[in-house]
Amino acid sequence: MALTATIFKAEIQIADMDHGYYGTHSLTVARHPSETDERMMVRLLVFALQASEDLQFTKGLCADDEPEIWAKSLSGDIELWIDVGLPDERRIRKACGRAGRVVVYAYGGHQAQLWWERTRADVARFSNLEVFELPQDSTRALAGLASRTMQLQCTVQEGQVWFGSAEATELLEPVRWR
Alpha-carbon distance of 132 to 141, in angstroms, equals 18
Q: CA of 124: how far to CAs of 68, 91, 118, 177, in Å? A: 22, 14, 12, 11
What is the per-residue pLDDT for 92?
A: 97
**pLDDT, tens digit (0-9, with 9 covering 90-100), for 80-94:** 999 999 999 999 999
Q: What is the CATH number of domain 6-176?
A: 3.10.640.10
| pLDDT band of 5, cuts 50, 70, 90 | confident
**pLDDT, tens digit (0-9, with 9 covering 90-100), for 68-80:** 999 999 999 999 9
Phi and psi of 169, rounded to 5°? -130, 140
Position 61 pLDDT exceeds 60 = no
Q: Average pLDDT of 146-158?
A: 97
One-letter amino acid identity for 160?
A: Q
Residue 82 pairs in a beta bridge with 69, 103
**pLDDT, tens digit (0-9, with 9 covering 90-100), for 102-140:** 999 999 999 999 999 999 999 999 999 999 999 999 999
| pLDDT band of 65, cuts 50, 70, 90 | confident
The secondary structure of residue 136, as a DSSP letter, is: H
CB atoms within 10 A of CB 150: 17
pTM higher than the cut 0.85: yes
